[in-house]
Chains A and B, each alone.
Chain A
Amino acid sequence: MFASALAEEPKSSWAYFRALHELLPAPMFNTQAFLIFFAVVAAVYWLIPRRFNTVRVCWLVVASFHFYAAWSAELAFLVLGTSVIDFLMARKMETRTTPWGRRIWMLASVVMNLGVLCYFKYTNFFLDSINTALVKAGYEHAFTTLKILVPFGISFYTFEAISYAVDVYRGKIRAERSLPHFLLFILFFPHLVAGPIVRGADFLRQTHRRKHWNWQRVEVGVQLFLLGVFKKMAIADRLALFCDPVWAAPTEYSTPAVWLAVLAYSFRIYMDFSGYSDMAIGLAHLLGFRLNKNFDRPYLAVNVSEFWHRWHISLSTWLRDYLFIPLGGSRGSSWATRRNLMITMLLGGLWHGAAISYVVWGGLHGLFLIMHRQFQVWCKTRPRVQAVLNSWPGTVWRVGFTFTCVTLAWVFFRPDVAGALQVFQQMFGFVPGKSLALSNRSLWLTVGFVLLCMMVWKTKPMQWVWPRLHPMAMGTGYAVCACAAMLLAPPVGKTFLYFVF
């Protein structure tokens, strides 16, 4: 009853930023503090006359910087600093006339961003791996791990900066002339923490466009924000009540309980991340910006390849454009294609987290993709098999099978590989143990509700009814959704899973 624990938080050495931290303690969109922050930012933004677009942009840059600095001022300056250097390097790159001159500046920018990413995110992972290898070889620990605070969202904004440098190098876009506009591209607070990963070609154009207040856009923004809040608070955080205790001590739970926890984890990850993305896209709409869709009902995918077309779309397209294709894509032999797929997915796994388990997760997906390609080739000469698979029951089976594969892979989507193996042992060991702390019925109802929404949302009747609903019904629906999200939030809120990436 009296036990309590305090989470470790970064403490700034500047009083101003410490005070800011008190006002905005966590970079979470679904908090009262953030809503007040956003209301102030949006109000000032729209009050600035439209003709002063650069002032509006500067205001958003200042707001975004403060959003980050409220968590850690030092790291906010780091992000700002690297962004300014990226901006200058791209300008330099464009002034060079020779290909090698352009390439040097592009490589400098990429190396700097990867260097920052590796230092903050992967140093301890590499040191730990070396230490483990040395111990196994009979030596003592050679390296002491460093006390490094990983800047949140580092994986996202470094990828944005890299794609910008590469796009300028390829001549797809011109180097941005205005520093505030470029800084907004990197620092824009709705996408700063956990994406969606934006591209310079798409976002920089928007920063230059003068924006009108548009009620339609506001409604879409409110709708997406509320949807995200509901996904996060009422579903993802609720599902955490089922999976977190099992993840903490898997060996204490029975086989059915662990299977249910894995199911809960699978839906939790989806709802957590897509909820965050929806909130980010909604907030951007409220400021007149459009961020790309990041999820498209991924658990209805009929194969793993399609899953990656629907899951974390901004990352999968980034990996395709800046890793898979430069590696050779699928132009070479089938072996080379398989190799490229595997490298892409392994690095994609490592991008998610500095731990072997994430690499295993990426490797599993690489394996699934390779197997799927082989199966597709095999099916091409067997039209009857194709017909069966494309039938209604075949499609249901494919969706179920894909979901099962993806869900089993999620077991490795955590920093502890030994724990993941324990979970597998419990899942397939048919062992007795504790059941879940909460009623299984509430889990099934939650999962069933999510599945129903996914299936119903894009049906024709729904698409017809939705835009024709009376404003009174629609507005009341939004308000009820907001109240339901608050009501169903569990006693203790959880941080976004993707913040650690």
Chain B
Amino acid sequence: MPITPTMLELLPRLRATPQVVVPVVRRRPAAVVAVAGLVLLVLNFALAIVAEINPVLRDPAGGDKLTKLKRLPTPPKLIQFGSSRTLLGFKPDVLDEPAMNFGLPASGLFTSVVSLQRVLNCGPAPDVVIVELLPAMLVDGVEEQFLTTERLSGAELSLVKSLGFADSISGYKHQQRWIAPWFALRTQLVGRVMPSWLPEENRHDWGRKTDETGWTTPPRQSIDTAERAERETKVQQEYGNLLATLTPGERALSAARWIEQTCAERSIRLVFVLMPEGSNFRAMYGPGAEGRLQTWLKQLNAPVIDARSWLNDDEMYDGHHAFARGADRFTTRLTHETRR
């Protein structure tokens, strides 16, 4: 099929085989590649080492709490460890003694083990430790999806693994932190420097938003019925299936036993607590779930305070996270019960 000059003029003027731009000046490409490889190795190794040493880099939320703990004028006599329920529900400033809220979102007993270990390593031990039991996180394999292992140092990972933590569930993130730390720790680093570049749930900046005692509260202190219903529906989607068939497992029990043993060795008074839940939330426990939970709780040696019905529905904004007024009432009653 002949191609006329007119056709060629009208057709796209493309080179059939465009050339790759190669440097005009010969500049020792072997040296460039070698330097690139070496610098890449050095940058990665340096970050991996710094992250291993400094928890703020690998686990900003937990690291921030430690920093705040160290800044307190008087070492706290009481510390509560737990999840976002603790973060919003335990308000140390209503107490007349120094206390600290060590709540971290999506935490179960393994996270509490790690947090307790970090607290004990960095200063004087408190007199009383309260550890939240989040029922959904007591199920084997659930906490592993949230306590991703790039957040842990080598020693911390060994500790939780010795208690049955299945690090395979969250993938090979700890190894990845050593091989490619700029990738493994990207949300931690970007969340620290430019948090607005990340979706809110990936920012790792909950620790920064708390007051000096580690407590935080929702931005609003009231909610209309429609929004509450919407939030409770979301909570239902998150927790419904797990609570319907709730079966607390052995792994959480080993973590709880380690906490009991460590507190006993340091002469720390330990109390476990089930945090307040709204009426709709409590209705999600399926048949037999409560019985299985109670059987599991009976295996603990430390006292357990069941605070699930302590707050009214209007004192929480989604059925399990407290408003400030709910946090006031809960904290006062909890410390009263703990002392008793």
Contacts and interface: CB of A to CB of B under 8 A. Distances in A.
Contacts of A489: 183, 186
A85 B179 CA distance: 44
Interface of B: 1, 3-4, 6-7, 10-14, 16-20, 22-40, 43-44, 106, 136, 142, 145-146, 176, 179-180, 182-183, 186-187, 189-190, 194, 196-200, 202, 237-239, 241-242
19 contacts: A1-B106, A1-B238, A2-B242, A202-B17, A216-B29, A317-B12, A330-B7, A330-B10, A439-B197, A466-B23, A468-B25, A474-B32, A475-B36, A476-B39, A478-B36, A483-B40, A486-B186, A489-B183, A490-B198
Given A292-B18, A476-B35, A483-B182, 11 more contacts: A2-B238, A219-B29, A224-B20, A293-B19, A296-B18, A325-B1, A330-B11, A442-B197, A478-B39, A487-B182, A489-B186
Interface string A471-486: 1101110111011001
Contacts of B238: 1-3
Interface of A: 1-4, 32, 202, 215-216, 218-220, 222, 224, 238, 241, 281, 285, 290, 292-293, 296, 305, 308-309, 313, 316-317, 320, 324-326, 329-331, 337, 437-439, 441-442, 466-472, 474-476, 478-480, 482-483, 486-491
Given A320-B11, A438-B196, A491-B187, A2 B36 contact: no
B34 A216 contact: no
> Mostly helix, strand, loop or mixed at chain A's interface?
helix
A194 to B, nearest CB: 18
Contact of B199 (A216, A320, A437): A437
Nearest to B241: A2
B205 to A, nearest CB: 14
B6 to A, nearest CB: 8
Most buried by A among B17, B24, B202, B239: B17
Contacts of B36: 222, 474-476, 478-479, 482
B40 A467 contact: no
Contact of A308 (B12, B26, B146): B12
A491 B198 contact: yes
Contact of A316 (B12, B44, B180, B187): B12
Given A292-B17, A293-B18, A468-B25, A329 B38 contact: no
Given A3-B237, A482-B40, A241 B199 contact: yes
B7 A219 contact: no
Quick one: which of A2, A222, A290, A292 has the most chain B CB within 10 A? A2
B186 A488 contact: yes
Contacts of A488: 186, 190, 197
Given A466-B23, A467-B24, A476-B39, A219 B199 contact: no
A475 B202 contact: no
Contacts of B26: 216
Contacts of A324: 11
B40 A309 contact: no
Contact of B27 (A296, A330, A471, A476): A471
Given A2-B238, A305-B12, A330-B7, A475 B33 contact: yes
A486 B146 CA distance: 21
A39 to B, nearest CB: 12
Nearest to B19: A293
Contact of B33 (A4, A202, A219, A441): A219
B84 to A, nearest CB: 9
Contacts of B3: 325, 329
A343 B242 CA distance: 55
A107 B13 CA distance: 29
Nearest to A437: B199
A89 B18 CA distance: 30
Nearest to B194: A442
A475 B36 CA distance: 4
Contacts of A281: 20
Given A2-B238, A2-B239, A216-B22, A479 B43 contact: yes
Nearest to B18: A293
Contacts of B187: 491
Contacts of A469: 27
A442 B197 CA distance: 6
A487 to B, nearest CB: 5
Contact of A220 (B18, B20, B106, B179): B20
A313 B18 contact: yes
Given A1-B238, A4-B145, A468-B25, A222 B4 contact: no
A479 B20 contact: no
B18 A471 contact: no
Given A290-B20, A442-B196, A491-B199, A309 B32 contact: no
A483 B12 CA distance: 39
A472 B202 contact: no
Contact of A475 (B10, B17, B39, B194): B39
Contacts of A438: 196-199
B190 A219 contact: no
B14 A215 contact: no
Residue from the set B106, B142, B199 with the largest chain A CB neighbour count within 10 Å: B199
Contacts of B10: 329-330, 337
A430 B156 CA distance: 54
A437 B198 CA distance: 9
Contacts of A437: 199-200
Given A331-B4, A479-B40, A216 B31 contact: no
B132 to A, nearest CB: 15
Contacts of B17: 202, 292
A478 B32 contact: yes
